């Protein structure tokens, strides 16, 4: 009889130790072809580990052909001869080492959208429908035109684009930067990656909001930083929760989305903004202000100052054109002190992450179109109409839910403290919608992209929601 525990190597993660142990026992002849292994529950008890750990090890050994499961009989050492050649086991590379609930749910939603069923309603995707993307007329361009444009590139980006973004930020957000304070990137995700990679070291801690678009983001894992979440209410992040994280975990960076927060749509109050800035100043911690929806506020007559305006030196401002021109525009920017921009520029060039000159030239031409601001204003008007129409429909169809009407962006957030709706129910009804679990919430919540709902789609969504509610009663 095998004394299983004594053969278990001191290795982490434990499932890898179990794999190594079983393979070693086979190689040494202590387990032979056709031998039955203990049931997973029993083996977990013998090894003092969770059953899920044994299950994961078994799954990979089955995939590798080392063991096999026989329905109704158990698990046995494979009777097939194991190859002696030292071949790469691609399974260990391709299988996710950590598949969280939110990652699984995202995959299910993406699979549904890729299938494109005839009756699909997609309010999950985070981009504009093609019908709302502004239309621009471009001059005929040759390949030589793009090569010539490279002469106007600086280390921080295409000079005409830097100037155009600076001018439109001044008009739409009352933000004033020198050109040395701006760096062009391939979007907000890349901007944040450069910040994490360029300013932090592996093991450093960052604080984000909860719920947040950045919950479970692979950016943090890729850069080796630890992530902690502080709750958000209608007027912004909880100061008590944030300060507790700062003190307990020695937070080095705070990432906030104060305007039309993704997913809630909330706008942080001026009082809360000043308090957050003061708190981070006290602890000498920089803030990253994600303002991806900054140009899509419905009421711009009395804008609340950005965090960057309240604290120009300590706030790193990031934004993007993807929410206006579509995800394929792939142009974003970072605004920070010249010293920070210099560091991020160095990282960007070292990692060959400079945005395409073609994308920069095309976006510059679009922003230089005389109708750009007019089309932007028209887009905001359409979004406001769709937000109000969607809000009224949801209030009518979901009377027990709390529906938040945003003042910008294109997400509506609905919550319920007790209602239990499974993502599978939505998928079965061919409705792609973002559940709160994607953003780190345990209570039921839904994020709905109202920008994708014209009048016909809105009626279809109402009918689909009614059917889902009836199916769950």
DSSP 104-117: HHHHHHHHHHHH--
pLDDT of residue 95: 56
Task: Specify which residues 317 forms β-bridges with.
Answer: 289, 335
Cα 18 to Cα 44, 248, 305, distances in angstroms = 10, 35, 56
Give the three-state DSSP class for 285.
coil
pLDDT of residue 148: 92
Phi, psi of 397 (to 5 degrees): -85, -30
Kind of pairing between the strands at 121-122 and 431-432: parallel
Listed residue (328, 308, 329, 332) closest to 320, CA to CA = 332
Give pTM, 2 decimals: 0.81
CATH architecture of 4-94: Orthogonal Bundle (1.10)
pLDDT of residue 11: 78
Whether 139 contacts 365, CB under 8 Å: yes
DSSP secondary structure string for all residues of 238-251:
-HHHHHHHHHHHTE
- Chain CA centroid to CA 270, Å: 26
Long-range contacts of 416-419 (CB under 8 A, 24+ apart): 416/443, 416/444, 416/445, 417/443, 417/444, 418/444, 419/444
Burial 173-208 (b: 16+ CB within 10 A, else e): bebebeeebbbbbbbbbbbbbbbbbbbbeeebbbbb
Whether 324 contacts 379, CB under 8 Å: yes
**Count of alpha carbons within 13 angstroms of residue 468, beta-carbon side:** 23
pLDDT of residue 118: 87
Cα 103 to Cα 184, 198, 243, 461, distances in angstroms = 29, 26, 29, 25
Mind listing the pLDDT tens digit for each residue in 416-469? 877 667 888 899 999 999 999 999 987 789 999 999 999 999 999 999 999 998
Matching CATH number, 140-369, of 3.90.650.10, 3.40.640.10, 3.40.50.720, 3.40.50.150: 3.40.640.10
Residue reference for tokens 């992450």: 353
Cis peptide before 436 (omega within 30 of 0): no
In tens digits, the chain (473 residues) has pLDDT values of 788 888 888 877 888 889 999 988 888 888 888 889 999 999 999 998 888 889 889 988 888 888 998 888 899 998 766 555 566 766 656 654 556 778 888 889 999 999 988 899 999 999 999 999 999 888 889 999 999 999 999 999 999 999 999 998 888 877 889 999 999 999 999 999 999 999 999 999 999 999 999 998 889 988 999 999 999 988 999 999 999 999 999 999 999 999 999 999 999 999 999 999 999 999 999 999 999 999 999 987 777 999 999 999 999 999 999 999 988 888 999 999 999 999 999 999 999 999 999 999 999 999 999 999 999 999 999 999 999 999 999 999 999 899 999 999 999 999 987 766 788 889 999 999 999 999 998 778 999 999 999 999 999 999 999 999 888 77
Distance between CA atoms of residues 318 and 324, nearest Å: 15
Distance between CA atoms of residues 80 and 156, nearest Å: 58
pLDDT of residue 99: 63
pLDDT of residue 193: 96
pLDDT of residue 246: 97
Q: For the domain 101-125+374-472, what is the CATH code?
A: 3.90.1150.10
Mind listing the pLDDT tens digit for each residue in 41-100? 999 999 988 888 898 899 888 888 889 988 888 999 987 665 555 667 666 566 545 567
Distance between CA atoms of residues 445 and 461, nearest Å: 17
Domain ranges of the chain: 4-94, 101-125+374-472, 140-369
């Amino acid at each position: 009889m095998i004394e299983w525990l004594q053969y278990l190597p001191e290795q982490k993660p434990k499932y890898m130790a179990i794999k190594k142990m079983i393979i070693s026992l086979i190689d040494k002849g202590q387990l032979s072809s056709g031998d039955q292994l203990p049931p997973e529950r029993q083996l977990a008890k013998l090894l003092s580990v969770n059953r899920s750990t044994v299950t994961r090890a078994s799954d990979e050994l089955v995939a590798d052909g080392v063991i096999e499961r026989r329905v109704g009989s158990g698990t046995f050492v494979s009777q097939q001869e194991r190859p002696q050649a030292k071949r790469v086991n691609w399974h260990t590379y391709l299988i996710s080492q950590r598949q969280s609930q939110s990652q699984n749910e995202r995959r299910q939603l993406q699979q549904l959208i890729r299938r494109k069923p005839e009756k699909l309603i997609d309010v999950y995707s985070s981009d504009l429908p093609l019908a709302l993307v502004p239309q621009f007329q471009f001059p005929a361009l040759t390949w030589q035109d793009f090569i010539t444009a490279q002469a106007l590139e600086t280390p921080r980006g295409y000079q005409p684009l830097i100037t155009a973004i600076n001018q439109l930020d001044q008009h739409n957000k009352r933000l004033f930067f020198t050109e040395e304070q701006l760096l062009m990137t391939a979007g907000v995700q890349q901007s944040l990656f450069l910040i994490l990679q360029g300013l932090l070291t592996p093991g450093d801690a960052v604080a984000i909001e909860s719920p947040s678009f950045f919950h479970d983001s692979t950016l943090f894992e890729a850069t080796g930083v630890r992530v902690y979440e502080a709750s958000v209410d209608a007027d912004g992040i909880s100061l008590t929760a944030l300060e507790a994280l700062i003190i307990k975990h020695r937070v080095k960076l705070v990432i906030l989305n104060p305007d039309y927060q993704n997913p809630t749509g909330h706008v942080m109050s001026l009082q809360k903004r000043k308090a957050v800035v003061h708190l981070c100043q006290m602890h000498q911690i920089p803030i990253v202000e994600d303002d991806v929806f900054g140009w899509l506020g419905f009421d711009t007559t009395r804008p609340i100052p950005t965090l960057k305006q309240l604290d120009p030196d300590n706030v790193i401002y990031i934004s993007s054109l993807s929410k206006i021109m579509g995800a394929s525009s792939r142009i974003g920017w970072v605004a920070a002190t010249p010293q920070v921009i210099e560091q991020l520029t160095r990282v960007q060039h070292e990692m060959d992450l400079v945005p395409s000159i073609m994308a920069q030239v095309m976006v510059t031409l679009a922003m230089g179109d005389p109708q750009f601001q007019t089309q932007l204003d028209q887009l905001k008007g359409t979004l406001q109409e769709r937000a109000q129409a969607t809000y009224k429909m949801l209030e009518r169809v979901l009377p027990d839910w709390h529906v938040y009407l945003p003042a910008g962006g294109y997400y509506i957030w609905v919550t319920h403290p007790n209602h239990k709706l499974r993502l599978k129910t939505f998928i079965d009804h061919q409705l792609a919608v973002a559940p709160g679990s994607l953003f780190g919430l345990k209570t039921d919540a839904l994020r709905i992209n109202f920008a994708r709902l014209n009048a016909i789609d809105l009626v279809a969504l109402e009918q689909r929601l009614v059917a889902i509610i009836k199916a769950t009663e």
